[in-house]
Structure 1
């Protein structure tokens, strides 16, 4: 429900679509369903992987533990410990915080961007999705991280926009093979959804 509301909010700030020429039969209006469904499945999958790799605290099934974790999540500021090493301010390794969250942010941004949200709408979508991840999906395991809340959408803007430009370049190629390969490099999950599930964007 939160992601549905997020999709609607991001659509409101999407860049108005360009008017296609009469010869074009391309729908350039923002589509919120694919990014919301994609992001819900993506974050759910990540949460299951996280529970498998780090059973404590992410696989704890005790209701009392879950309640305590959510209470901690919603009653304290996000974690930021300046005494820890750089990029490990929340207790996670720098690889997770820099590489992992950078890729996560770019995935959140790219799906919205390819679905015509514009860069501002896609950034808003990445911000909202990151908040949902930290406070809803992960909130029953650990407190939100200030670094993750900030870095994930901003890295999504930078890396995601680069991926989007590569994807746009791929669509202009005459060779179907080259177009498919470059599109898959830029947006692998999106390509699977478009080819196998009939996603409109």
Structure 2
């Protein structure tokens, strides 16, 4: 039987501080036994918190996998729509949580992604021309070499985003947060239509 990871919080007596940590155990009963031995207790305090972290991780992995499958279907439909507007459907990713998704070289031109959360996502080399990214969170996202021509990034969160090599012609950065983003000064000046000497 493989071992599972359990996280715990325990206060062995009312005067001691709450301690937390992880243990490897065969099952919940084995985890409780180990805690009793570790803290030299006949019974665990009623407020002891013991969570099967392996189950939590498995559930998160299943959810991420389901999200990736749904996203692939949306991207396939969108790709068909960009080829022929009578086929597929325009991608609508409004307000979706797509944090840390790995989707380089995605073809999301003209996609509707207002309010979507792409924090930490990899969109490097993606085609995002004329995409609606109003209020989108791209905090820490990798947009290296992405084509953002004509994209609407007004009110978007681009803090810490990587924009090296990104094409920003005609992009709307009205009230976008660019703090700490990685971008060449010339590309930023061009995107903001600054006049340089």
**TM-score, length-normalised on structure 2?**
0.26
**Larger RCO (alpha carbons 8 Å, 6+ apart):** 1
Higher relative strand content? 2
Instruction: Answer with 1 or 2: which has the greater Rg.
Output: 2
TM-score (norm 1): 0.26
